[in-house]
Structure 1
Amino acid sequence: MKTKYITLILLLLAYLCTNAQEVPDTSQQLTLQKAIEIALVNNYDIKIASGELQKAKNLNSIGNAGLLPSVSLNGGADYSNKDTEIELLSQGSDGAPSKVVIEQDNAGSATYNANARIDYTLFDGFGNIYTYKKLQSADALQETIFKQQTEATIVQVAQQYYQLCRAQQNLYLAKESMRISRERWQKAMDKKAYGQATQLDILNAEVDMNNDSTIVLQTEQSAIQSMKDLNLLLGVPIQNTYAVDNSISFRNDFTSEEILAAALLHNSRLLTQQQQEHISSLDVKLANAGKYPTLSAYGQYGYFRQDNDAGQLLYNQNMGTTAGISLKFNVFNGRQQRTREKNARLDYMSAQERTSQVKSEIERDASNAYTDYIYKRKIVELQKSSLEQARLNFGQTKELFQLGRVTSIEFRTAQQNLLRVAADYNDAQYQAKTAEFYLLQLTGQLIQ
């Protein structure tokens, strides 16, 4: 099958169609391209990853970073009813002090208040700015993680698709071998009727035919299981069945230098680690922001009213604006600030070391993957040559067997040899093709 690389449009399709479901047409042949498109819409891991991506996008705003003011509305009302006794000090007409006692039962008191308030942090050591940058970086990181999950799903689908192709091809070979064995048995029966074959020839042919029937059942079971495994990856009903396109073609434009360069530039795992390192550097700046004072401002417009049945103050009402600023500076908090700064720097250093480690691992993996692909391609060519020789050998042996110049054992050996070589050739092709997909995943070329 000619490889068709998945575009960013399909990636966005998976993101936008999280709740949609696409089902393959069981009446038509399923291609790898179609299988990947279906998986990008239905695959459970991609749906989960797209949900995490949406959460990161929801958090990526200046409001969540504290760069916008907060506005609140408050209001309330209180009422009380009490027996009240108040003793007041007053001055008589002669200037002498005297006491006045006021007593009132069931004295009511009501209070009403309402206000609109706005608060804003003017300066906090640029902590809110670094927080916003961290949210942006976290959003970009989640996009890379989503791409990484999409790439992993594409490779899984390709592997399982080719596993199904291999199983169906092996089933075809097993059925073809059984057909040959049935023809041999039938000819032995015909020859025996004319006295040209013995009962032993019939029994040998029947044993081989039964063995081939067992192999057909085993390979058919394997094909059914492979079909169900693929359906699970596609997110479609497990019992779906369809034919697959088992034609294969390979790319011949890989070079070791280009593979290594592309892996170091576009590998999703390395990009993820580099983004995490950048986030760690922002954590250092956020920790350092705690050393600076915090300057805040607020403004308020409010209404207040109080009514009393007893006391000197029977009625009080005010309405208007209030504004102010506040400054907070941490002088000493048990060296917690210093600890946060040290730990943030240590985390950043660890992230840098981890990036170097991942880079080295990617270099190794890319080199090994390229070597693995090249050698698997060579094995394909060798197996192709072996298959041609096995077909030629079986054809000649079949002719000689019909002429009675070779034994049934020699014919059976040639038949089994052809079946084994054909199966090995199929395995070599599909292993090389999955190695190609892994190489594309390492170099970030699956999604362009």
Structure 2
Amino acid sequence: MMRINLNKTMANHLFHTFRLAWTVRISYVFFAVFLFSETIGAQEQLSKDEAIKQMLENNFGIKLAENQLKIADNNQSILNSGYLPSITGNAGAQYDQSDDIREFPGVFDENGDPRDDVVIEGAETQSYNAAVNVNYLLFDGLGRYYNYKQLQEQYNLTELQVRETIENTVLQLYSVYYDVARRSENLEVLKKALAISRDRVTRAQYQFDYGQNTKLEVLQAEVDVVTDSINVLNAKQDLINAKRDLNVVLNRELEVGFEVDTVVNFQNQLILESYIKDAPQNNVTLLQAEKSVTISDFQIKANKALFLPSIGLTGSYGWNRSNNPASAFFPGSISRGESLRLGASLTWSLFDGGRNIISLKNARILKDSEVLQRKQFELQIERDIANAAGNYANLLQIYRIREQNVETNENNLERSQERLKLGQISSIEFRQAQVNLINAETSKNFAKYDAKLAELELLRLTGQLLNIEF
């Protein structure tokens, strides 16, 4: 066994160094516990699919849009089409009580005496009636048909509007979700930088105790720890704020803690090109414009129907009963009756002062406007898709470059650490390498999520945002 003998001075010096180093370490440990106490506990893992699910269930904007869709669905019902007949029923009852005195002046009976007055007191008259009337529009120049088709197309248009609301909300959700992811990754980068700076303080203190460097190296390392600690605190607060923003989009408690998925996958380029090719058939704005043209066309046809005659059928069934009291000349009686009536009518507005003509002209102008707007949208969407595709390709390329730059700076930091240990570079040079790596990693995170959001915008414009799994 080899035994190491230390003199008293060296032992005291080593003890002092050991105690100082561990004092610094323990202070940093307590600082770290205080700084990250909120993130130590297990938190909900909020995946992208779960975020989408909660958004669809809770988001106010989507709920309001769905209510509009329900109204449009009610409007396209057969009950709102005019195809069903109208049936009305009515009934009545009447009661009358009266006193009647009949005088016969100048009238004598067979004995030559004046005829007595006839007095009827409390004579009651009762009458009852009930009827059912049916009206049915048999033909109205097909106006009813085209109005019904308009309501069906209006439902389809509202459905597309709901889809547009969902797409915009999904894009907003991903924007906030990826902002949380980016800030989470940036926080981890700054934590690693803080850990490196702490190790530098410990190492610099050792070297100072052994006379290998000056106190200035220790102070510089401690300054860097303070700077990195402040950066971590700011990044942590930014992350908390971003999580609150996401909770607002999901319509849940603001202080609910969670972690997000930082893995980002990009779509295959060939698939994206096929989406771009089929964009005119899938873009929600162009589909809405097409529905608006269709609705305008049906409105023209409905207005033309106003120039044609309308034929209607009517029918009714009635019942009545009357209880009549006795009178001066007739005894009391009861009468009952039933009736059945059928009829047809033809109505033709030959001239209404020109209002129908003006309505038809305005409907045609409206359709022309819808066609022009559709063409305008086609050109704008083509431009937007081209810009979005170019932005995505550019940002994706920047992200690849940023990735490579991170690897370069990681290698540079590793070599700088080795050279710092050997005393070949100063702490300032090492700090610069460390800062370069921090900037490279945060820039890479920016580039990654910027590229992903650009891809999502491209998918939205091509009408595929809701068809992709992330």
Same fold (TM > 0.5) = yes
1:10 equivalent in structure 2? none
Specify the structure having the higher radius of gyration (Cα): 2
Contact 2:98–2:121 (Cα < 8 Å) also in 1: yes
1:425 equivalent among 444, 448, 465: 444
1:185 equivalent in structure 2? 201
1:271 equivalent in structure 2? 287
Aligned-pair CA distance for 1:400:
1.5
2:136 equivalent in structure 1? 120
The AA in structure 1 aligned to 2:184 is Q
Distance change in 2, residues 1:83/1:330 (3 Å): farther
Distance across 2 between alignment mates of 1:350 and 1:110 = 66
Aligned-pair CA distance for 1:332:
3.3
Query: What does the per-residue CA deviation read over 1:194-242, in whole Å, with 9 as the maximum and x for residues that have no partner?
Result: 3444343333222221121111111111111221222222233322222
Query: What does the per-residue CA deviation read over 1:94-115, in whole Å, with 9 as the maximum and x for residues that have no partner?
Result: xxxxxxx999787655432211
The AA in structure 2 aligned to 1:74 is N
1:236 equivalent in structure 2? 252
Query: What does the per-residue CA deviation read over 1:348-387, in whole Å, with 9 as the maximum and x for residues that have no partner?
Result: 1111111111111111111111111111111011111111
Query: What does the per-residue CA deviation read over 1:94-138, in whole Å, with 9 as the maximum and x for residues that have no partner?
Result: xxxxxxx99978765543221122211011111111121112112
SS of the residue aligned with 2:278?
helix
SS of the residue aligned with 1:240?
coil
| Structure 2 residue 432 is the aligned partner of structure 1 residue 400 | no
2:263 equivalent in structure 1? 247
Query: What does the per-residue CA deviation read over 1:283-332, in whole Å, with 9 as the maximum and x for residues that have no partner?
Result: 11112222222221111111123445598997653212111122222233
Contact 1:84–1:310 (Cα < 8 Å) also in 2: no
2:380 equivalent among 361, 377, 398: 361
2:189 equivalent in structure 1? 173
1:446 equivalent in structure 2? 465
Contact 1:110–1:307 (Cα < 8 Å) also in 2: yes
Which is further off, 53-62 or 437-446? 53-62
* Structure 1, unaligned runs of 5 or more: 1-25, 88-100
Distance across 2 between alignment mates of 1:208 and 1:85 = 121
Distance across 1 between alignment mates of 2:286 and 2:209 = 73
TM-score by length of structure 1 reads: 0.84
Distance across 2 between alignment mates of 1:365 and 1:329 = 52
| Structure 2 residue 348 is the aligned partner of structure 1 residue 332 | no
Distance across 2 between alignment mates of 1:256 and 1:236 = 34
The AA in structure 2 aligned to 1:395 is E
Aligned-pair CA distance for 1:76:
2.0
| Structure 2 residue 281 is the aligned partner of structure 1 residue 262 | no
2:296 equivalent among 266, 276, 280: 280
The AA in structure 2 aligned to 1:191 is Q
2:160 equivalent in structure 1? 144
Distance across 1 between alignment mates of 2:280 and 2:405 = 38
Aligned-pair CA distance for 1:256:
7.7
Distance across 1 between alignment mates of 2:307 and 2:102 = 53
TM-score by length of structure 2 reads: 0.80
Which is further off, 184-193 or 423-432? 184-193
Distance across 2 between alignment mates of 1:357 and 1:332 = 38
Distance change in 2, residues 1:76/1:395 (3 Å): same
Kindly report which structure 2 residues correspond to 1:289-438, keeping only aligned pairs within 5 A, or say none.
Answer: 289-308=305-324, 316-438=335-457
Distance change in 2, residues 1:257/1:179 (3 Å): closer
SS of the residue aligned with 1:349?
helix
Distance change in 2, residues 1:407/1:299 (3 Å): same
Distance across 2 between alignment mates of 1:190 and 1:111 = 117
Contact 2:95–2:124 (Cα < 8 Å) also in 1: yes
SS of the residue aligned with 2:292?
helix
The AA in structure 1 aligned to 2:193 is S
2:210 equivalent in structure 1? 194
Distance across 2 between alignment mates of 1:251 and 1:141 = 30
The AA in structure 2 aligned to 1:333 is D
| Structure 2 residue 51 is the aligned partner of structure 1 residue 32 | no
Among the aligned pairs, what percent are the same residue? 35
The AA in structure 1 aligned to 2:460 is Q
Contact 2:43–2:257 (Cα < 8 Å) also in 1: no
Aligned-pair CA distance for 1:270:
0.9
The AA in structure 2 aligned to 1:299 is G
Count of matched residue positions in the alignment of Structure 1 and Structure 2? 411
Aligned-pair CA distance for 1:85:
9.2
Aligned-pair CA distance for 1:255:
7.1
Which is further off, 38-47 or 177-186? 38-47
Contact 1:256–1:370 (Cα < 8 Å) also in 2: no
SS of the residue aligned with 1:63?
helix
1:3 equivalent in structure 2? none
The AA in structure 2 aligned to 1:419 is I
| Structure 2 residue 65 is the aligned partner of structure 1 residue 49 | yes
Distance across 2 between alignment mates of 1:52 and 1:86 = 72
Which is further off, 219-228 or 324-333? 324-333
* Structure 2, unaligned runs of 5 or more: 1-41, 104-116
2:87 equivalent among 37, 61, 71: 71
SS of the residue aligned with 2:437?
helix
Contact 2:279–2:461 (Cα < 8 Å) also in 1: yes
1:59 equivalent among 67, 75, 92: 75
The AA in structure 1 aligned to 2:415 is Q
Contact 1:165–1:245 (Cα < 8 Å) also in 2: yes
The AA in structure 1 aligned to 2:174 is A
1:212 equivalent in structure 2? 228
1:129 equivalent in structure 2? 145
More helix by share: 2
Contact 2:275–2:464 (Cα < 8 Å) also in 1: no
SS of the residue aligned with 1:290?
helix
Contact 1:232–1:238 (Cα < 8 Å) also in 2: yes
Distance change in 2, residues 1:82/1:205 (3 Å): farther
Q: Could you list the runs of 4 or more consecutive aligned residues of structure 1 that deviate by over 4 angstroms after TM superposition?
A: 80-87, 101-109, 307-316
Contact 1:108–1:309 (Cα < 8 Å) also in 2: yes
Which is further off, 350-359 or 284-293? 284-293
